[in-house]
Structure 1
Amino acid sequence: MELFYNSNIDKNTKKFILDNEDVKHILRVKRKKIGDIIEFTNGKGFGFECAIEKIEKKKIYFTIRNSVEKKNSNNLHIGICLLKSSTRFEFFLEKATEIGIKEITPIISKNTVKKNINVVRSKNKIISAMKQSLKYSMPKLNNLEFFESFCTNSTEESKFICTCRNIKKIPISKIIKLDGAVKFLIGPEGDFNNEEINHSIKNRFTPVSLGNSRLRAETAAIIVSSAFSTFK
């Protein structure tokens, strides 16, 4: 099975026209013809069984025969500081999508070296990972946010911060079965500084330990994502 993406269709859509780069792939690589069935998702929890109704040079006309809803039950929101390496940050985006978390916010903290993100490229990485892993949902990628405002504006009951600093922390094994929305903060290279840790605790973030190993930021974020997906 191969999954294609169209953000413009929903459960009320009956017909649609595809006119993007997927047309060439469907016709020349997959060699599909009129009457063949193609699977689509809108990335919002819906999958669609679509029949090819008409083919033009750069367009395919589809009729939706059936739809199924498969909402993501994972309510994990990860705020992760931008990394010096875009490749490593994008690796996390792909794995978080495959695992199936709900939301990702790129963060700028005091020790963050990189101050910008290629939003279009990042969203394309997420879409590609969703299609390859046959998911009907993808994480919402929020706008870049500063650490202080991310902490202050967090209204979730369950909020945690990962840090390597020698302070009192609870093990992640104690919280992975929490119900409801959960928010995690993952630091940059060099970790959060003391001022940031204190600011997060003031805003009711609880420090968490991921074990005895010192982890890269993207590894920590993937461990958190996997833990909340596997043990729910």
Structure 2
Amino acid sequence: MHTFFAPDLNGSTYTLPEDESKHAVRVLRLGAGDAVALLDGRGGVYQAAVADANLKRCQLRITHYEKVSPRSYSTYVAVAPTKNLDRMEWLVEKAVEVGVERITFLRCARSERRELKLDRLEKIAVSALKQSGQAWLPQLDELTDYAAFLKTVDPATTFIAHLEEGERTDLKHVVSQAPHCCVLIGPEGDFTPQEIELALRLGIRPVTLGASRLRTETAALAAVFTAHISR
């Protein structure tokens, strides 16, 4: 069954935007009576049928509604985006498919990318939502300065993954006891010692994702996956 994203759905009918209407009618060849699914990104899952297969305004009639409750735990990743935006697009796609509640992009001392536009990443998140059947669209945050970001999190449920020497706990051991967690992932050159020290002074705990040295986007996805399988 084909799935469409309907963030503004309200009522017993829904009209697809023009680009989606054209895709539904011309590409997917949907006609009157054909069944489709709709997701609003806020837990709403709808079954619908095509009422009017119009190329510009394809109208759907809602036949069934189900509200999917949020997970009993939440996973939040704050990551320094890579210079190659394709790798961040890959991360967003896979993290949404696995299931993540929020992604914040960090501007760190060693960050290769100093600016970031969310438009493309948000479209990828929606596409991944439809493909995976997830009911909740994660929040994507604008690029935020590292020090300012640390002031907004709860140190008790926040963890920093870094490669510096020192005692670090395996992430899977700490998230199993934390219904909500935020994991910080640094840029390709890692967090600076000063950034790590700042986090530790605030009470944020250092963690490891394993023995391998992971790329930024791989580490962020590993953190999301670990948070799921450890609960």
TM-score past 0.5 threshold: yes
1:14 maps to 12
Contact 1:157–1:181 at 8 Å: present in 2 too? no
Query: Are residues 1:83 and 2:82 paired?
Result: yes
Contact 1:100–1:138 at 8 Å: present in 2 too? no
1:38 pairs with one of 20, 36, 39: 36
Distance across 1 between alignment mates of 2:154 and 2:172: 23
Distance across 2 between alignment mates of 1:176 and 1:43: 25
2:210 maps to 211
Aligned residues: 230
Deviates more, 1:31-40 or 1:69-78: 69-78
Aligned residue runs from structure 1 range 97-116, under 5 A: 97-116=96-115
Distance across 1 between alignment mates of 2:169 and 2:117: 35
For structure 2, the residue ranges without an aligned partner over 5 or more in a row are none
**Displacement of 1:70:** 1.7
Distance across 1 between alignment mates of 2:14 and 2:204: 46
2:46 maps to 48
**Displacement of 1:2:** 2.5
Question: What SS does the aligned partner of 2:159 have?
Answer: strand
**Displacement of 1:54:** 2.0
Deviates more, 1:129-138 or 1:186-195: 129-138
Distance across 2 between alignment mates of 1:126 and 1:22: 16
Measured at CA, do residues 187 and 180 of structure 1 come closer, stay the same or move farther in structure 2, by a change above 3 Å?
A: same
Letter in 1 for 2:166: I
Identity of aligned residues (%): 26
RMSD: 1.4
Contact 2:49–2:62 at 8 Å: present in 1 too? yes
Question: What SS does the aligned partner of 2:15 have?
Answer: strand
Distance across 1 between alignment mates of 2:74 and 2:15: 33
**Displacement of 1:129:** 1.1
Letter in 1 for 2:200: I
1:195 maps to 194
Distance across 2 between alignment mates of 1:20 and 1:175: 47
**Displacement of 1:72:** 3.6
2:61 maps to 63
Contact 1:46–1:71 at 8 Å: present in 2 too? no
Query: Are residues 1:223 and 2:198 paired?
Result: no
Deviates more, 1:14-23 or 1:32-41: 14-23
Contact 1:38–1:50 at 8 Å: present in 2 too? yes
Measured at CA, do residues 89 and 57 of structure 1 come closer, stay the same or move farther in structure 2, by a change above 3 Å?
A: closer
Deviates more, 1:164-173 or 1:19-28: 19-28
**Displacement of 1:156:** 5.7
1:5 maps to 5
Contact 1:72–1:100 at 8 Å: present in 2 too? no
For structure 1, the residue ranges without an aligned partner over 5 or more in a row are none
**Displacement of 1:95:** 0.8
